[in-house]
Amino acid sequence: ILICGKKEININLLRRHTNYSSGLSASNEHIIWFWEVLQEFSEENKSKFIRFAWAQERLPSDDDEFIVTHTRLMIKPSSAKKTTNQDLLLPKADTCFFNLELPKYSSKSVLREKLLLAITMSLSMNGDDPDSRVDDPDNQFDINY
């Protein structure tokens, strides 16, 4: 029995265990782009996304484990004012609940840029970890996709 999940991030498995809130659905254009971008990510960036969104290293290993552990990703719309330019916002995560607040970006390339920025600048939930500080000019980030 594999308790901690598989090292490889199975995007199709995650997609099957994703819910959408507040009028969002899998058929929304920016949601389609989101899944395409995740699928195109390197394994390293897929893992960074899971850490960003859920503070875990791995996903449950199969459908049964998702069900038994009551795990699901919830994608929510941005909570910013409706008049805010969505392209200026970054995705936000509620890691305790595996919720992702995803702005309605104007293009797939903007979504990729903002998602990569969010997952690479959020390396640790530990505020005492000096390696996770984004205000450190010596802390460089490698954005590969």
96 in active site: yes
Contact between residue 41 and residue 145 where contact means Cβ atoms under 8 Å apart:
yes
CA-based R_g, the chain, Å: 15
Buried b (16+ CB within 10 A) or exposed e, 92-121: bbeeeebbbbbbebeebebbbbbbbebbbe
Query: What is the distance between the alpha carbons of residues 107 and 8, in angstroms, rounded to a whole number?
Result: 27
Which of left, alpha, beta for 49 (phi over 0: left; psi -120 to 50: alpha)?
alpha
User: Active site residue: 64, 96, 131, 140, which one?
Assistant: 96
Query: What is the distance between the alpha carbons of residues 123 and 118, in angstroms, rounded to a whole number?
Result: 9
Query: What is the distance between the alpha carbons of residues 45 and 86, in angstroms, rounded to a whole number?
Result: 23
Which residues participate in catalysis according to the annotation?
Answer: 96
